[in-house]
A and B are shown apart, each in its own frame.
Chain A
Amino acid sequence: MKLKELESHLSHVENFSNAKEYLEQYMTTPHLAARMIYTAQTQYDDIENHLLIDLGIGTGMLSIASCLLNADHIFGFDCDIDALNLCQSNIKEFELESNIDLIQADLRRIRLPVDLHRIIADTVIMNPPFGTKPFSSSTENQDELCLTGIDMHFLQYARQLARHSIYSLHKTSTRDHIYKKAKDWNMNMDVLAVLQFDIPKLEKKRSNRKTSTASNAPLKSIEVDFIRFEIKDNTDD
């Protein structure tokens, strides 16, 4: 399938109608998702006939793109039931019910065993939340926030779940920090592209925070790296 064709198919993925700001929910665009997955397959052969995990599956955009490029099977995780319902609806629309399984889990809470036998996916794909600074006010429920560094949390789980590679997005401003972590975690790291992202700006101390949606939140433009991590220590492969 050609890139343009893939992007065209993905234009049918339905967006959030009430994106939750505090979870940093927004749809990965068909344009970006098509390029991410197309690159992963054509340059690295990481999609077709492989088992994938999508962390923070959201609308299902990345997973649907991967199935269209013949991934074997995908397990998608998200903490929000509304996102999962939307995802399920998108999966039905594309008739991919037997290709994508969904699990509701909060990656801020669940502990995954660091047990090599348990590594089950070839490739992990994700567009993680980037996190905001924690509120200074202690009355806010901190658990509901995507705190700074949450994308590193996602990356840590990805590292435990992937056999071969991880495709992810992280703020360019954190690149050096991520490079260090990648080294610590025995992974090669390649920045495949630098993008300009418009994400809904998460503002502090807004009383209507819970009810405001991404559609009326002001946009913030940030530089984002599209990164491929390769797992180094699989000596039995």
Chain B
Amino acid sequence: MLTSNILKGVTRGFPLKIKADKMEHISVDYNRDFIARIIPRIEYDALRAAVNDLGLNESLPEAMSETLQQDDEFLKTMHKVLLEYEVEEGELICPETGRKFPISKGIPNMLLQETEVS
């Protein structure tokens, strides 16, 4: 899940939308310090949008305040959302062009065709 979020941060200005055909729920040991370190680096709005796109049954507050970043419940939810959901098969979609980037075995394919290179 972290991957799609950093790609949303990295590519152009607009976050890519995400669609899953096959999701996996995995169990990962909770490391509070790691989550606390990571969350200031996350594009929070993009993450919320992804959670929404995927229809995950997790509720994330609209904004991530300083106090929230210390809240255990919030950190545990962020842990689940960032590490325990994996899109095995699916797509990332550019909201501007509709261009789809397939995700296969958890790996997004961002290779561009000859004609797409500006």
Q: Mark A residues whose CB is within 8 Å of B.
A: 49, 51, 72-73, 75, 79, 81, 84-85, 88, 97-98, 101-106, 109-113, 115, 118, 120, 143, 161
Contact = CB atoms under 8 A, between A and B. Distances in A.
B111 A105 contact: yes
Across the A-B interface, give the 8 residue pairs with the lowest CB-CB distance, nearest first.
A101-B3, A105-B110, A104-B109, A98-B28, A102-B107, A109-B112, A98-B83, A109-B117
A88 B83 CA distance: 17
Contacts of B109: 81, 104
Contacts of A88: 105-107
B6 interface: yes
Nearest to A78: B107
B2 interface: yes
Contacts of A102: 3, 106-107
A113 B12 CA distance: 6
A121 B17 CA distance: 22
A88 B41 CA distance: 25
Nearest to B83: A98
Given A81-B107, A81-B109, A104-B107, 9 more contacts: A51-B41, A75-B6, A84-B107, A103-B108, A103-B110, A104-B111, A106-B110, A113-B12, A120-B6
